[in-house]
Structure 1
Amino acid sequence: MILYRLLLTLIFPLLVLQALRKGGLGERLGGGAASPPGLWVHGASVGELTSARGLITALAADEPIVVTCNTATARAMVQGWAIPGVQARFAPFDLRWCLARFRRRHQPRALILIESELWPNRMLAMAGHLAMVGARISEGSAAGWARRAPGLIRQMLSGVTCLSAQDQASAARFTALGLPPDRLAPSLMLKTAVSLQTRPLPFEPPGPRDTCLLAASTHPGDEALILAAWPTAQTAGFETLILAPRHPERGDAIAQLAPMARRSKGDVATKGVYLADTLGEMDYWYRMAGTTIIGGSFTDRGGHTPYEPAAYGSAILHGPDTANFSEVFAALDSANAALATTAENLGPTLAQLTSARQAALRQAAQSLLAETADLGPLLDRLRRALP
């Protein structure tokens, strides 16, 4: 722990320079506007906090919440939700004096960590008032902690009063690293608890839903691959392709790949390629698309959530890399509730997606995933576990 704190102190000037460049230095130093005492919820970025929106909304009905994150896009997204009692801040640096300043300003009674944020000082500062939800740890990360800092990770996990893992494998790894087994709550993949949006669509869909194809949360390399398969998809009846990048700031680069209209320019989707390079509007595109291609599953990034497209009734197609949701995609594939393919076979696979096939896939996915979407037991456990 002494070595960790020394290294963090040494790189502190670099952290300050980075924050000066990206913004939010005051909040990262533990400052900024104060918020009412209540809960502290932390998620790294957009994906983690999107998955936790339903949980945050439910908890905010009981008390104020300050949500912290590491990126400006995530902070803006949480602010845009406008959930009563919820305020968004940049997370303080994992330095003891920054954390102490943050705690004086916000007076959180407990901290809930979303997914895989394991910061030693933060966890030790909130020991005994700490929960982890949707927690996950890979085999490699667990081995690294066990090899390099077994005592530190055991100390960090000893202060966790409640941990709900994404899957049984993560639960087993956390207990092997030192989490007391009685602190385990039922496993829950937070992304199952999707808060469905019913706000009006921004424009009239360009055609019937089954003629619209969405590529959701794409990464570099995904767009070129999908655009190469697009002509084949068109022969099967698709008329509109929506590209929704994981990071909308990549919009200019993506727009160079093919002629396309752009949401960020105020364009309305018509038949052809449409670039949804904005933040906080994924519900629009899921609701328009009969089929969703899971971004990051063709380019070695582990894939993104199948829960949101399934919840909005969009059929699921994914590539071979689904490491981030391996158990879920395995269950979907086994139940014929999703289509798995490779980069080379993307076009022919899209050609199979008739209206009837899309309907069968979406119905099977909704039936399968609805069984794991109840937040009630987790909320009850958190309320008992957090003083």
Structure 2
Amino acid sequence: MDKKKPAVDTYEIRYSDKEELALNIVNYFLKKENFSLFNIPEKMLENFSHPLYDLVFISTERLHSSEAIVHLEHKLKSVKKKMTKTYLIPSPSILFISVDCNIKFDVDQLPKNVEFVSIDSVEDLLSHPIILEDFPAIKTANLTHSFSELSQLINKEGILHLRKIRSMLTYTDKPWGYILLISLNVLWFLSFAYLNVLENQTDQIRPFALTQQGVQEGAYWLFITNSFVSRDIFQLIAAAIFTSYFGRFTEKLYGTMRFLGIALFSIGLSNSVSFALTTEHQFGFFPIVIGLVTAIGYASFNYRRYLMMSFRKMVVPFIGIFFIYAFITSYNELIAISGAFLGGLLGSVILGLPKKKSKSILKRILFLLGYLAILSISILTGLE
């Protein structure tokens, strides 16, 4: 008996002059404007980093009646709502290019932040004021590829884009930084256990835990070592599990050196803020996990299309655990967690995503100065 093949979603594009024109425009946006195909049958493209448009539609749908315009209005509203809900874009901007519209209507009835362009030929496209103003490079683009050429060109651009995204989202395939952090926690704990149990030196934890006296004596390394001091075996296990879970993903996104840098930013601010605002300073690595989660959130915001859904699936279960933990934990730990959150965010911005071009070096410098200011003020406040 033959096995039934699983159903596969397919679509068909039939040749016509309008389809050829539309696909030539698609090819231009893929190749020259760094857009990618978001919905192939609808010819919907996205580039959430584009300065003018988040989405571009190249539509061959017949717009020959008022009913068709009403349908278009509802569709655009639905798309905008989905973009806001799924990818956290408050009011996505859309360019809608129609190659089959022969009805005049008031474009103001379309949703906000939607530009409507109606064309019938390449000449119409190249003479349209919106297209010329927003995409001047289109004047020199080849928009006369044949139907058979376009399938190969679009497939090629799609493959190149996927390779580019994979390289951006997987900066390192062999992360070891998170293993280093876990190992430091474990080795530190075992050394304390040896001193406390076998040597009966119960105060050996103190030289590495954050205290006002220690900082006054010049032991500024306590702002680092304090995060590697575990209260008990349960705190150590929790820190190891969450560091492994979130740390590996963070390191793959940022690379080992940036990952360790973000952890260091989180450690520094977590301990300095705790030093300033609490009398019994929190120690342990768990707050730093919040800094790593923040770094993943920052990357997900920048790569919404590819990471936002994964980020939600990864973090939503953790949020429940965090709220339970926050409910039963102390004020001191909440302060340490808040500092780690801020440190992780600032560290992510300052160090940046490896293969994402920074729009402003000055912005990163200002964030670094802000971080150093918070760090310094916190330490000085704690010493008073």
Give your verdict on TM over 0.5: no
Give the TM-score, by structure 2 length: 0.29
Structure with the larger helix share: 2
Q: Which has the larger radius of gyration?
A: 2
Give the TM-score, by structure 1 length: 0.29
